[in-house]
Amino acid sequence: MSVVKGSWLKDGWFRESNPQWPGQAWSLEVDEVLHDEMSDFQHVVVFRNKGPWGNVLLLDGCVQVTDKGEFSYHEMMAHVPLMSHPNPQQVLIIGGGDGGVMREVVKHPSVVECHLVDIDGMVIDVSKKFFPDIACSFAHPKARTTVGDGFAFLEGKENMFDVIVVDSSDPEGPASQLFGKEFYARLWKALKPGGLICTQAECLWLHLPLIQKMLAFVKECGFHAVEYGAMLIPFYPNGTLGCLVARKDNANEKVSAGPVRAVPEDLQSTTKYYTPETHRAIFALPRSVDLALYGKS
């Protein structure tokens, strides 16, 4: 893709417009452009917002993370699956090059190693430079970082991980193959018995057909207790983003029931969003969504 440097900026404002949410856009006033470069995979931009959001990371013109409110996504993507496992020791994150989910994962005392695989090394480097409070996890002794293709990384790996988090961007560009059935079949093989996946699963207001499709093929891949949860994420479209969670087995143990163990004291003292109550609350969906996804009335 050919991108003219600064072409995303007009009259001092960034305007996020994406074919995946037609008819709407979100604008942010730019104080200073900090980074504007094409990687081998995508257009990577960082700017400082004149308003409350601080530094903002764009990938191919879409907001990925902001200083303000980033914890709302990173905490829930990490702690919902890890607190649903009795003893998570080996964790894999696919995507998540900003390091935010890994920052939360390594807080769990039981975690021995957290592997992060992101295809774009520039995202990791830019995050370390401009989002140090988010990317601090890369220096943690539990962290293992690989720059490479997450889909290829899973090949041949069986019964290795207790929890796998798929912190992907939208189903276009570099992340497109992370929304397919073959990818989820590889996730299933890579999990230990009783393991869980948690994957970014788009917005219930905009992408319900995609979410329905994901639920169906995740079940076809052998996962059980497949559930969709909706999180309040202020810098994503419509202020809502979803996660999909599922178990390799233990079909009756739904993640929506809440934590399966006590929240570690050191973890509880650092979270700004996650609690046992918010863990359960994200699975309380609007009636229309319950009907569309599960046939509930």
Assess whether 290 carries a catalytic annotation.
no
Q: Is 115 left (phi over 0), alpha (psi -120 to 50) or beta?
A: beta
Separation CA 176–CA 268 (nearest Å): 35
Q: State the DSSP code for 3.
A: -
Q: How many CB atoms lie within 10 A of CB 153?
A: 17
Q: DSSP states of 89-144 as a string? A: -EEEEEE-TT-HHHHHHTTSTT--EEEEEES-HHHHHHHHHH-HHHHGGGGSTTEE
Do you know the residue count of the chain? 297
Selected catalytic residue, list 60, 162, 167, 170: 167
Distances (CA, A) of 99 to 120, 123, 166: 13, 10, 13
Q: 201 burial class (0-12, 13-18, 19+ CB within 10 angstroms)?
A: buried
Map tokens 């993640």 to a residue: 255
> Position 64: which residue type?
Q
Asked if 81 contacts 197 with a C-beta cutoff of 8 angstroms, the reply is: yes
Active site residues: 167
